[in-house]
Amino acid sequence: GYSALIYNTEDDPLREREALEMLKKRRADGAILMASNIGCEWLLEYSNHYPIVQCSEYDPQVDIPHVSIDNYLATQQAMEYLLSLGHRRIAIISSENEYNSTSLRLKGYKDTLEKHGITPIEDYIRYASRDYSFKSGKLKAEELLSVTPRPTALFCISDTLALGAISSAKEMGYRVPEDVSVVGFDDVEHTTMLHPYITTIAQPCYELGKQSVHLLYAEMTQGKVIPHQLILEHKLIIRESSAASPMLD
């Protein structure tokens, strides 16, 4: 059988390379990478010699097996939902990181607005910290809710950012969802710890991990595997933090 080693690289490419060196030293037989920042050349170098699978986050420029959801489609679904509630002033709290999921979610946001004849407004786009912190979610929501005209909905690319946004809205005297709707992404446990419970896009976290292990095992025992790419189903979970757009001038 196999044992699992968990290595927290803390978003540091040097620590990631250090972890992958375990493959060279035969201290590990394969690796599952999440949110890799190591870069294309390093990824290709390691994947040419060792079994590697990318889980959730992946680099589209590198031909390595990966398991993920369709972040672009998921964002479109969240945006279509907000638009169906009558929202037209929809802002986004994105992130300053370079992850593929981040760029796909931002693109999904912009493209859906344009599909409905709404030009994305730069004042409605904010970039939170790389790690999606609660504090940066609060800060960026405060900035957005101070814009004139104020957005009636905030789409946050993570649930932690959404929690920060709700906290900021409440501190500024706005009711969620009566004055401003908030939608998150991921469906982590704390989305239902405090009211309002957060409307969000759910990722199948258990299945992402399970299928990544299956792919890695196949690579270790059979060589290159097919299918090379697995896209799992997401789900829009409608809760208390979203409602019809308020009537504003």
Each residue's pLDDT tens digit, 44-73:
888 888 899 999 988 888 888 999 999 999
Domain annotation covers residue 245 = no
Instruction: Give pLDDT tens digits for 192-207.
Output: 999 999 999 999 999 9
**Cα dihedral 12/187/52/9 (nearest 10):** 20
pLDDT of residue 19: 85
Domain annotation covers residue 214 = yes
Contact residues for 13 (Cβ-Cβ < 8 A; gap 6+): 37, 38, 39, 42
Q: Are residues 228 and 158 in the same domain?
A: no
Instruction: Give pLDDT tens digits for 34-52.
Output: 877 777 787 888 888 889 9
Q: Are residues 121 and 181 in the same domain?
A: yes
pLDDT of residue 227: 64
Residue 215 belongs to what domain range? Answer: 13-69+204-232
Identity of the residue numbered 77: Q
CATH for 88: 3.40.50.2300
pLDDT of residue 145: 99
Name the percent of the chain lying above pLDDT 90. Answer: 71
Q: Are residues 157 and 134 in the same domain?
A: yes
Q: Which two tokens stand for residue 113?
A: 């607005």
Domain annotation covers residue 8 = no
Peptide bond into 196 cis (omega under 30): yes
Identity of the residue numbered 102: T
Q: Are residues 58 and 108 in the same domain?
A: no
Position 6 pLDDT exceeds 60: yes
Quote the number of domains for the chain.
Answer: 2
Position 84 pLDDT exceeds 80: yes
Q: Are residues 125 and 182 in the same domain?
A: yes
